Amino acid sequence: MRILFLGPPGAGKGTQSKLLAERYGLFHLAPGDIFRQEVKNGTELGKLVEGIMARGELVPDDVTVKIVEKRLDSEEAKKGLVLDGFPRNMNQALHLEEALKQRGQSLDLVIELSCDEEELIQRSMTRRVCSRCGRPYNLKLQPPRVPGKCDVCGGDLIIRKDDTESTIRERFRVYNEVTSPLRDFYREKGILVTVDGEGEVDQVFSRILGVLKEKGLVKEESDIL
């Protein structure tokens, strides 16, 4: 099963795609997480992308595509894939299509999480992320059990550097301009579904599972067909 999540910043792509990957043992591939790790480790790539991310702009396609392609060939990716935050423009979408084709693969479904923009800006401001394992939280919608600590690994929760209001607004501008046309691209292929991304994390996840069952991609909650 190969699923792609689309949606504006803060719509819950990270949270929902990680839940889905965990439930079905799929490989979660998110360039944003990879870039954040590189920044944290102070690598050459990290230095290259740090400013770009802090401004809410897109990392150049050649850099991003290379990172994604490398992981498509990993052992874990053979079990199935959840793409989160890639592709983000038409050029990346075409690269992805070609890369999958070369491997005899294709996307089964594109899930667009829809949400009201102002609500999302508020959501991004209350977002926190584990500094150790990257798991996302939201102080209002999905608070950690112990304040300031990750439920899974106990790491400290921090505010993402790109969760300032000006960066969030820039990320929305980029999304509306270059990412949202991908909806039409996938709609024309007949693989786009829109899921209401508002409400509690569990509610949204149930809606996603409902769609996967309806599309015949899973039978019961833990079975992939």
The residues, ordered by sequence, that sit 6+ positions from 154 with a Cβ below 8 Å of its Cβ are: 132
Query: Measured between alpha carbons, how far is 127 from 134 in angstroms, rounded to an integer?
Result: 12
Query: Closest separation between CB of residue 222 and ligand AMP, Å?
Result: 27
Give the number of other Cβ atoms within 10 Å of residue 98's Cβ: 12
Residues that bind ligand AMP (CB under 6 A): 9, 30-32, 35, 52-53, 56-59, 64, 85-88, 92, 162, 171
Measured from the CB atom, the residue of 19 and 53 that comes closer to ligand AMP is 53
Closest residue to ligand AMP using C-beta atoms: 32
136-138 and 127-130 strand pairing:
antiparallel
Measured from the CB atom, the residue of 52 and 211 that comes closer to ligand AMP is 52
Measured from the CB atom, the residue of 58 and 109 that comes closer to ligand AMP is 58
Query: Measured between alpha carbons, how far is 119 from 115 in angstroms, rounded to an integer?
Result: 7
Residue 160 CA to chain centroid, in angstroms? 15
Query: Closest separation between CB of residue 210 and ligand AMP, Å?
Result: 25
Q: Tokens standing for 206? A: 């149930």
In the block, which residue shows the tokens 């509306």?
A: 176
Query: Closest separation between CB of residue 5 and ligand AMP, Å?
Result: 10
Query: Closest separation between CB of residue 223 and ligand AMP, Å?
Result: 29
Measured from the CB atom, the residue of 16 and 64 that comes closer to ligand AMP is 64
Query: Closest separation between CB of residue 213 and ligand AMP, Å?
Result: 27
Give the number of other Cβ atoms within 10 Å of residue 178's Cβ: 16
Indicate which residues carry an active-site annotation: 13, 88, 127, 160, 171
Q: At 90, is the secondary structure helix, strand, or coil? A: helix
Q: Is the peptide bond before 9 cis (omega within 30 degrees of 0)?
A: no
